[in-house]
Amino acid sequence: MRCEQAQEQLLDYLHHELSPPEQLVLDAHLAHCPDCQAELESTRQLWLTLGKVPTPEPSEQLRPAFYAMLGEFKQAAKPSPARVWLAQARSWLQNWLTPQFAARVAYNLCLLLVGIAGGYWMSRPQPAAPATGSQQELAQLTQQVQDMRQVLLLSLIDAPSATERLRAVGYTKELRQANPKVVEALLGTLNHDDNVNVRLATLEALAQLAPNEPAVRQGLVRSLAQQDSPLVQSALADVMVQLQEKRSVQPLRRLLRQPDLNEAVKTKIQESIKSLSSDAQTHETFFLARPAHPAELSM
């Protein structure tokens, strides 16, 4: 141990506040170091002298003076009304000026512009010949609104709030046709979102797009193997029957083999497989039983 370390521990040594190992090390150092012995004795004498110093009685004016000083400090630290208003306004702006809020504002402004333009064209006197140019411009604005809806959907679909994600899924009802990016985002939400309600809403939106979107139908079939919620599994089985998607029979059968599958879901899947299989068999039986056409017989 060095002398600097020993002298830093002298006060604790005098008050018996050192741990046993530290006490032993310091005792060994003091036994062979005259300088630290002298420093220890000096510290002991100083401490004894300080202990004999009388403690002064507080003045009668101490308490009033303290509270007066405290009141002045509070008054000086109290924010002015203008500063409070500015702080509240700053907090409000920080809470509202988010990317999702900006996207919603842009979308609403675009709708407003389209409404104004549409009203202007509707109020114009119609010429005898069709106004092809105006119709094309209106179609372009309508397409821009569709594009804005898709951009807004893509910006909200990954929001931390489940409410925002539900709102994003709701925009699909206003889309005439979804682009591949929107379809991919919706399928990703269906397969990976933590909120069951969001997944159910996404499934409903995809079911509406599926009749005209082969990629959506294929994505829904693949999604059967990735669902773990009984509610989503049951709803997805209903959608397969609604779409009469024969490719879902094998994934549904694999789903039945899961050992922890919910009993109600198992019953629903069995009914769905039976419905899909019976429709296929009925179609096949009709085709085989149909009388052959003379042209077919001649082949």
Q: Can you give the pLDDT at residue 106?
A: 65
At residue 98, the pLDDT reads: 63
Same domain assignment for residues 244 and 194: yes
Asked, for residue 278, whether it belongs to a domain, the answer is: yes
Across the range 230-256, mean pLDDT stands at 92
Please determine, for residue 125, whether its predicted confidence score (pLDDT) is greater than 80.
no
Report the alpha-carbon distance of residue 241 to residue 265 in Å, rounded: 14
**Cα angle vertex 225, ends 219, 227, to 5°?**
90
The verdict on residue 62 lying in a domain is no
CA distances from 236 to 132, 204, 250 (A): 45, 9, 14
Whether 279 and 212 share a structural domain:
yes
Q: Are residues 187 and 275 in the same domain?
A: yes
What pLDDT score does 141 carry?
Answer: 66
Predicted local confidence at residue 195, as pLDDT:
92
Residue 284 and residue 187 share a domain? yes
pLDDT over 80 at 126, yes or no: no
**Angstrom distances, CA of residue 41 to CA of 44, 51, 290:** 5, 15, 119
Mean pLDDT, residues 20-33 taken together: 86
Q: Is 59 a member of any domain? A: no
Residue 173 lies in a domain: no
Alpha helices (runs of H) in the chain, residue ranges in sequence order: 3-8, 10-14, 20-32, 34-52, 62-77, 81-96, 99-123, 132-156, 162-170, 180-192, 196-209, 214-223, 230-243, 249-256, 263-289, 294-297
pLDDT digits (tens, 9 = 90+) for 252-297: 999 899 888 899 999 999 999 999 887 545 444 433 344 444 444 3
d(CA 180, CA 189): 14
Domain containing residue 195: 178-290
Q: What mean pLDDT do residues 125-132 have?
A: 50
Q: What is the mean pLDDT of residues 33-38?
A: 88
The 10s digit of each residue's pLDDT in 61-100 is 667 777 778 777 777 766 666 666 777 777 766 665 566 6
Query: Contacts for 62-65 with beta carbons within 8 Å, 24 or more apart?
Result: none
- Rounded Cα distance, 224 and 78, in Å: 62
pTM value? 0.49
Q: Domain check: are 183 and 137 in the same one?
A: no
Q: What is the per-residue burial (b if ≥16 Cβ within 10 Å, else e) of 198-211?
A: bbbbbbebbbebbe
Are 37 and 106 found together in one domain? no
pLDDT in tens, 180-222: 888 888 899 999 999 999 999 989 988 988 888 889 999 999 9
pLDDT of residue 288: 39
Is 269:239 a contact under the CB 8 Å cutoff?
no
- CA nearest to 271, candidates 224, 226, 238, 232: 238
User: 107 pLDDT exceeds 90?
Assistant: no
Question: Is 196 in the same domain as 286?
Answer: yes
**Which pLDDT score is estimated for 138?**
65
Q: Give the closest residue to 117 by CA, choosing from 148, 141, 133.
A: 141
In a domain, 66, yes or no: no
197 and 238 fall within a common domain = yes
The residue count of the chain comes to 299
Chain segment 162-171, per-residue pLDDT in tens:
888 888 888 7
Please give the tally of structural domains in the chain: 3
Closest CA to 202 of 146, 219, 101: 219
Domain presence at residue 52: no
Separation in Å, CA 34 to CA 6, 27, 40, 54, 157: 12, 12, 10, 33, 77
Q: Is 196 found in the same domain as 262?
A: yes
At residue 291, the pLDDT reads 45
Average pLDDT, the chain: 77
pLDDT, residue 172, reads 77
Q: How confident is the model at residue 298 (pLDDT cuts 50, 70, 90)?
A: very low
223 found inside a domain = yes
Domain contains 296: no
